[in-house]
């Protein structure tokens, strides 16, 4: 099913696994060169600048070419029918297959762009087809939702399997959850009342399987897709129990009922969930040395804090900021000092210098782009805000 040369994919995986060791200096450059020669990769995967450039240019070419074809057929009825979108989408897809198979493009920008354009056009064809079948605000609009979610799921799953595209994997996961949620919500009154729990359960199951059952050799080419699905499922697992999300969604779905505005049921469950789950993620991440869990947890802690703050006003905003600032600053400073020498398998030292290929200093670019707006202009009010341009600017480029 995979369109790519499997040997090259496996070789690429070998090289990628060894790259951190090369960066940290455990593996000598000669050794890595030997490995590269023994495990060759023939893909065309240029650096990030070329990739972005090719992505934009492919988009321009596709859009203008589509315009040209449509313009030539402007008078015919063909372009009003969904067939036209299917035709354009399939055309892009054939070009994509050609680019990948004949030219060996792999994450080159051109294939990324064609993936999304062809998928988008085919989806647009289906949506127009659906719109013709089920007019808007019809009693069938729920059926339309099933169909849309189902088609997105099938399409993105196909692209995930064939092109091992990680964003498509996320799309596939989200559309599946959405499909199940719509189905459950409409099944019965019980389903409508327990919607958050279904999403929690589903995300939990998917996370569990993506964590434990994915070491099989058949899935070796999909490891990056799987890690992204893990992150997404962790986020949906948390968000579907987040108090703010539940309330907003509940108000959206049920609105003002006869017994007054929508109230979140079981606050005994949802508040602890909102506050505790991010800490559980972080703790489990530290305990199991799982970077995905750790980072997701840290970000979700911030979301939990914002959620709490938007319901309970314990302190005025400046007091909160100062307090959290002091705690974060003090805590991270203390941890940095504490971990100067590695302890319990953790360290503050950078194990591998992360550099972007292409030979420029990224940090100095970021500084240059942010400072243009941030520099106090001499005659302005000094309270411009607390923006940080970033530092560490004395590294090489």
Partner 1 sequence: MNIELYKKLHDEGLITEETLKKAVYKHNNPLLSLHWELKTLLYLGVTLLSTGLGILIYKNIDTIGHQFILLFIAAISTGCFYYCIKNRKPFNREQVKSPGSLYDYVLLLGCLSMLSFLGYLQFQYLIFGTHYGMATLIPMLILFYIAYEFDHLGVLSMAITNLAIWMGITVSPIGMVADSFKNTTPLIYTGLFLGLLLLVAGYCAEHYNFKKHFKFTYQNFGLNISFISLLSGYFNDSSYLLGYLWLIGVPILGFILYRDALKNKSFYFLLMIILYVYIAASTFVISWLIKSDSSSAFVLCLLYLIGSAIYFVTLLISLNKKIKAL
| Binders in 274-303 for partner 1, by CB under 8 A | 289, 291, 294-295, 298
CA-angle at 146, arms to 175 and 255, nearest 5°: 90
Residue-wise over 237-262: b if at least 16 C-beta within 10 A, else e? bbbbbbbbbbbebbeeeeeeeeeeeb
175: nearest Cα among 200, 149, 198, 141: 149
- Burial of 85: CB neighbours in 10 Å, binned 0-12, 13-18, 19+: buried
Q: Which is nearer to partner 1, 267 or 358 (CB)?
A: 358
- Burial of 135: CB neighbours in 10 Å, binned 0-12, 13-18, 19+: exposed
Decide: 7 and 38 in contact? Cβ < 8 Å: no
Q: Which of residues 241-260 bind partner 1 (CB under 8 A)?
A: none
Q: Which is nearer to partner 1, 260 or 385 (CB)?
A: 385
Contact segment (CB under 8 A) with partner 1 among 78-86, 185-193, 217-225, 387-395 equals: 387-395
Determine the Cα–Cα distance for residues 279 and 42; give it in Å rounded to an integer.
44
Decide: 202 and 229 in contact? Cβ < 8 Å: no
Q: Which of residues 314-353 bind partner 1 (CB under 8 A)?
A: 317-333, 335-336, 339, 342, 345-351
Contact segment (CB under 8 A) with partner 1 among 22-30, 152-160, 181-189, 251-259 equals: 22-30
Contacts of 120 (CB under 8 A, 6+ apart): 89
Q: Which is nearer to partner 1, 25 or 265 (CB)?
A: 25
Q: Which is nearer to partner 1, 147 or 281 (CB)?
A: 281
167 binds partner 1 per the rule CB under 8 A: no
220 binds partner 1 per the rule CB under 8 A: no
Q: Which of residues 105-144 bind partner 1 (CB under 8 A)?
A: 110
Tokens of 279: 């800490």
397 binds partner 1 per the rule CB under 8 A: yes
Contact segment (CB under 8 A) with partner 1 among 12-20, 144-152, 179-187, 223-231 equals: 12-20
217 binds partner 1 per the rule CB under 8 A: no
Q: Give the sign of the dihedral formed by CA 201, CA 177, CA 290, CA 214.
A: positive
Q: Which is nearer to partner 1, 94 or 220 (CB)?
A: 220
Q: Which of residues 177-206 bind partner 1 (CB under 8 A)?
A: none
Maximum C-alpha span of the chain: 75
How many residues line the site for partner 1 (CB under 8 A)? 91
Contacts of 20 (CB under 8 A, 6+ apart): 351, 352
310 binds partner 1 per the rule CB under 8 A: no
Q: Which of residues 29-68 bind partner 1 (CB under 8 A)?
A: 31, 34-35, 38, 46-47, 49-50, 53-54, 57-58, 60-61, 64-65, 67-68
Q: What does R_g of the chain's alpha carbons equal in angstroms?
A: 25
Q: Which is nearer to partner 1, 219 or 327 (CB)?
A: 327
Q: How far is the CB of 269 from partner 1 (least distance, A)?
A: 30
């Amino acid at each position: 099913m995979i369109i790519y040369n499997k040997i090259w994919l496996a070789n690429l995986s070998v090289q990628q696994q060894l790259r951190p060791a090369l960066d940290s200096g455990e593996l000598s450059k000669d050794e890595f060169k030997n490995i590269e020669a023994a495990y060759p990769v023939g893909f065309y995967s240029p650096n990030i600048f070329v990739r972005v450039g090719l992505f934009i240019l492919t988009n321009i070419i596709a859009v203008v070419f589509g315009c040209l074809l449509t313009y030539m057929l402007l008078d015919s009825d063909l372009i009003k029918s969904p067939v036209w979108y299917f035709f354009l989408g399939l055309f892009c897809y054939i070009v994509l297959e050609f680019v990948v198979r004949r030219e060996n493009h792999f994450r080159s920008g051109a294939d990324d762009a064609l993936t999304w354009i062809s998928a988008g056009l085919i989806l647009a064809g289906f949506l127009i087809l659906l719109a013709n079948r089920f007019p808007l605000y019809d009693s069938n609009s729920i059926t339309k939702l099933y169909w849309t979610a189902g088609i997105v799921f099938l399409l993105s799953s196909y692209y995930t399997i064939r092109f091992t595209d990680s964003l498509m994997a996320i799309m596939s996961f989200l559309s599946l959850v959405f499909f199940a949620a719509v189905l459950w919500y409409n099944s019965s009154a019980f389903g409508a009342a327990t919607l958050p729990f279904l999403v929690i359960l589903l995300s939990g199951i998917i996370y569990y399987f993506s964590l434990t059952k994915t070491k099989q050799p058949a899935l070796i080419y999909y490891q990056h897709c799987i890690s992204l699905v893990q992150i997404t499922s962790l986020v949906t697992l948390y968000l579907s129990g987040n108090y703010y999300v539940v309330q907003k969604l509940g108000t959206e779905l049920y609105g003002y009922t006869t017994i007054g505005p929508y109230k979140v049921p079981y606050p005994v469950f949802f508040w602890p969930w909102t506050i505790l789950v991010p800490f559980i993620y972080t703790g489990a991440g530290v305990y199991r040395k799982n970077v995905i869990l750790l980072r997701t947890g840290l970000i979700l802690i911030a979301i939990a804090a914002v959620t709490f703050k938007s319901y309970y006003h314990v302190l005025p905003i400046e007091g909160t900021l100062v307090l959290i600032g002091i705690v974060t600053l003090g805590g991270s400073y203390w941890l940095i000092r504490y971990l100067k020498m590695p302890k319990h398998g953790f360290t503050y030292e950078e194990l591998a210098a992360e550099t972007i290929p292409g030979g420029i200093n990224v940090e100095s670019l970021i500084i240059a782009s942010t400072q243009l707006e941030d520099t106090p202009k001499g005659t302005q009010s000094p309270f411009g805000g607390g923006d940080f341009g970033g530092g560490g600017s004395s590294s090489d480029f």
